Structure 1
Amino acid sequence: MTTKLIGYILIICAAIMLVIVLLMSNIIQTRPQLFSAKSLLSSVWQDYKNQYVEAASGRVINKQQSNVTTSEGISYTMLRAVWSDDKVAFDQTLSWAQKNLQRPDSLFSWEYGTKTNGTQGILTDQGGQNSATDGDVNIALALIFASKRWSDPTYMSTATPILNSIWSKEVVTVAGVPYVSADDIERLSKTRVVINPSYFEPYAYRIFASMDKTHNWMALVDSSYA
């Protein structure tokens, strides 16, 4: 077989491979997607509920951390429920939190679980009666989203006192600038105020500013990036 003939054969083989690749590419591009974004979101949400949300009560349980419930976990579940258009789950988790975590000032105790005497309740020995600002912020945010998605103003009415208490008890002023603190007790410090940037949530403050004109939420957006 001559070198010239071998060259022709290689060219033909390369052309055949190119045609095969183009055909396969076209098949892949035109093949229907097995999962739409909506069905994937629904599937992930169901898995999350099965793993962490108590079906009978709506309580959110952290099975990786001594089966405790935190206000942050409640807030993440409420956000996921409203994103997934699951009003039943949203209302159930909100109701559990209101009955078991919400304080008279409308903020939420941050940790609930098995106490040293074996009963279930707020873990006061670990400061569980204090608030966690990120949990309160995201619960309020979830309520605002719910009021819009389900056209129900009662959710906004529920969010309003939470927003008021976030501002009055979880925002501290340093050198004339408002900052979000990690909880409701930092403002009471007689020595120094510690600011934890991991609690800054400017995405939420922007939305709060559009719904609540009584507080300067945009100032918190600015201080989050200062």
Structure 2
Amino acid sequence: MVLAMMVGCAQAASSDGWSSFKSRFMTSDGRIQDTGNNNVSHTEGQGYAMLMAVWYNDRSSFDSLWGWTQQHLKNPQNGLFYWKYNPAAANPVADKNNASDGDVLIAWALLKAGQKWQNPAYLQASQNIQKAIVDRDVITFNGHTVMLPGSQGFNKTSYVVLNPSYFLFPAWRDFAASSHLRVWTDLIDSGMDLLAKMRFGDAGLPVDWVALNTDGSVAPATAWPPRFSYDAIRVPLYLYWYDAQSLQLVPFQRYWMNFSRLQTPAWIDVMSNNKAPYNMAGGLLAVRDLTLNQSGYLSDRLDDNEDYYSSSLHLLTWLALKDR
């Protein structure tokens, strides 16, 4: 009987979403593979997994993830991280730019790890990255404090390109609480103000990439399709994680309530109203359920066919629900 109970407990432990995530996407040396994108790795994935490892109290995995990230992605010139690692390339980090959301996620995970496990080295590393983000990625533009998506290529002088899914409100709040620097609350205030303006088309939703002009107006950035899609789906996730009662969630709730749950299009072109020819599933559907407060559908059990990104959204939604 005792043996049977022990086996049952072991099976239950191994079937949680984090165990599934690790077995599918994490290499033995701590690299997260984007299975929907030729198994490349990026700071976003490393940061997501580091957050999960803290939440699931898995310090050994956290240390592997952080160790690999430092060894292969750290940019010694500016204290940030190369955004992409391609294991099939002769130079796996040919693009030396960073992705500010990845940097924030890594710093946030280190802050949480340092607090949870009483580790000053994690806290110091988080502080160093936070400082580098402020120095390299945060600017004031038309009175708004904004975080550019990367240190290179997004400030066009007459306008800046923003990615609203990089508005990591819960992380910025935690940085503000730990550092007492006003820049983080300024980012939150400006981010909320800008999001309120990013209600494009009949759907009234933000798009993946947005231009902020010198006169303060916003418009879909011309180099990308004007879609509320795989990037912008994270906007309501982070809003909920920051404040589950936020009125900024209302546009998403209104839009998704137009569809039955399993017939909700995966994306919409806000200019033409053309919708994806396929419906939400996996992590996308989990974000919808979270936003509509339909938490009965949520769990941290991953479907067998979910790729890296869907699985990431799925587990992050669970963390956002439980972190309230």
- TM-score under structure 1 length normalisation: 0.75
CA RMSD of aligned residues (A): 2.1
Match status 1:54 vs 2:21: no
Q: Does 1:70 align with 2:42?
A: yes
Q: Distance in 2 between matches of 1:205 and 1:176?
A: 19
Partner of 1:108: 81
Query: Are 2:65 and 1:93 aligned?
Result: yes
Distance (Å, rounded) in 1 between the aligned partners of 2:24 and 2:87: 19
Residue pairs, 1:71-220, within 5 angstroms: 71-104=43-76, 105-114=78-87, 118-119=89-90, 121-122=92-93, 124=94, 128-186=95-153, 188-220=155-187
CA contact (8 A) 1:179 1:220 kept: yes
- Matches of 1:103 and 1:69 in 2, distance apart? 16
Alpha carbons 2:75, 2:82 under 8 Å: kept: yes
Take 2:98 and 2:190, find their aligned partners in 1: how far apart are those partners? Answer: 21
More helix by share: 1
Contact residue 169 and residue 187 of structure 1 kept, 8 A: no
- Give the aligned residue type for 2:44: E
Deviation at 1:213, TM superposition (A): 2.6
Q: Which has the larger radius of gyration?
A: 1
Structure 1 stretches lacking a partner, 5+ long: 1-34
Query: Whole-Å Cα distance in 2 between the matches of residues 199 and 90 of structure 1?
Result: 22
Whole-angstrom distance in 2 between the partners of 1:71 and 1:42: 26
In the alignment, the residues of structure 1 paired with residue 68 and residue 114 of structure 2 have an alpha-carbon distance, to the nearest angstrom, of 19
Task: Report SS of the residue matched to 1:48.
Answer: helix
Structure 2: stretches of 5+ with no match in the other structure: 1-7, 194-324
Question: What is the number of residues matched between the two proteins?
Answer: 183
Aligned mates of 2:169, 2:13 — CA distance in 1: 28
Contact 1:82/1:146 (8 A) holds in 2: yes
- How big is the shift at 1:191? 4.0
Structure 1 SS opposite 2:92: strand
Q: Which amino acid aligns with 1:59?
A: R
* 1: CA distance, partners of 2:18 / 2:125: 25
Q: Do the aligned residues in 2 keep the contact of 1:53 with 1:60 (CA within 8 Å)?
A: yes
What aligned pairs does 1:7-22 form with structure 2 within 5 A after superposition? none
Q: Bigger relative contact order, structure 1 or 2, given CA contacts below 8 A and separation 6+?
A: 2
